Amino acid sequence: MRLLAAVSLLFVSVACTSAQSLPAVQIEPRVERLQSLDGAPLEAHVFDPGPSTEPRPAIVIFHGGGWYMGDPTWAYSRAQRYAERDLVAIAAQYRLSDQKTVTPIDAMVDARAQIRWVRANAARLNVDPTRIAAFGWSAGGHLAVAAAQAGDASSRPDALVLLSPAVDLERDDWFARLVGPERDVAAYSPLRQIQSGMPPALILQGDVDTVTPMSGAQGFCAAMEAAGNSCELEIYRGYGHLFTPAGKDDSGLPEPDSATSAAADERADRFLRERGFLK
């Protein structure tokens, strides 16, 4: 992931969600506090659809930003959209790399802690602990998969929706720089850490993406299927990172095509509906 692309993701919380998908009624998020698996303080911004006689599915959303930029508010528009569809939606915080002592490895720990926190508090949140999905775009896609590859079952989501995800990190010079030269990047790359029993995944991917190339998504899905897991890859021809049209620099400010973004939203809804997360 190139540095310029990481900087541009400052705008993605709005840009990657189509205007057509915004909810008619805004839900005020509730900020809950938790600790990561190593004791670091975190926040979960909870969008609660309101009273329900039955536990609801939940979706935990991890924003992009090159592992060093962003905050939960970047995921607000998407969380609002899912809350309107009767899911408990959580815009998740994770530690951002400072290019010194905090690395994306800490963010991976935090992503797992966010899933585990939702499951541990399922009764209080009125969430079905067997229906917790994770959504992530770009660097956030990597973190969603990192949770799915956790050794602790309580930290693993039950489904994955990934938009332009960073899944082949051995080709990502920026990630390698952030984790440091003493670490083996392959140990943190989703493509190299696939195991049997992972949750079903949907990848929404542009075919001319120069930031998180399509080859990584293809390799990830192929490896998932080889391990006996379900992985669906929806390719959008003529679009780059976060559905920036071909011919435009997708490593800079994202310029997503609104119609394609809306179509991808509907494709994600269908995936979740087929797995009992949406009605």
Q: Average pLDDT across each block of 10 residues of the chain; the chain has 279 residues. List them in order.
A: 43 43 74 96 97 97 97 98 98 96 97 98 98 98 97 96 98 96 96 97 98 98 98 98 96 89 98 97
Q: What is the pLDDT of residue 24?
A: 59
From the list 94, 117, 100, 241, the residue with the least C-alpha distance to 178 is: 100
Q: What is the pLDDT of residue 55?
A: 98
Q: Could you give the CA distance from residue 58 to residue 87 in angstroms, rounded to a whole number?
A: 5
Q: What is the pLDDT of residue 14?
A: 42
Q: What is the pLDDT of residue 254?
A: 79
Q: Could you give the CA distance from residue 109 to residue 238 in angstroms, rounded to a whole number?
A: 35
Q: Could you give the CA distance from residue 30 to residue 8 in angstroms, rounded to a whole number?
A: 28
Query: For the whole prediction, is pTM greater than 0.85?
Result: yes
Which class is 3-274 in CATH?
A: alpha beta
Residue 144 tokens read as 């969603």
